[in-house]
Amino acid sequence: MSSSTIGESIKQRRKELKITQPHLAELAGVSTNTLYKLERGQGNPSLEVLNKLAEVLGLELKLEVKQLHQ
């Protein structure tokens, strides 16, 4: 999953919950600038930042083994 896809998922969920970017950043304990960049698919967020945001938004981060196409 690319950072732009992750950012789009976070933005979509934030809007569903009617939370502003500054409010989400405050709730998750991350900088507003970090959230702006993430939602635009820029920057390189740490797993810690992603976990904080996911927790507030009720999302789950998962790593899965890729299915190989034969």
Task: Write out the H or E segment, with its range, that includes residue 68.
Answer: none
53-67 tens-digit pLDDT: 999 999 998 888 988
pLDDT for the residue numbered 53: 97
For domain 3-57, the CATH class is mainly alpha
User: In the predicted model, what is the mean pLDDT of residues 20-25?
Assistant: 98
Better-predicted residue by pLDDT, 3 or 41:
41
Better-predicted residue by pLDDT, 56 or 69:
56
Look up the pTM and report it. 0.84
Q: How far apart are CA 65 and CA 26, in angstroms?
A: 33
Query: How many C-beta atoms surround the C-beta of residue 55 within 10 A?
Result: 14
Give the burial class of 21: count Cβ atoms within 10 A of its Cβ; 0-12 exposed, 13-18 middle, 19 or more buried: middle
23-47 tens-digit pLDDT: 999 999 999 999 999 999 998 899 9
Nearest to 11 by CA among 48, 37, 43: 37
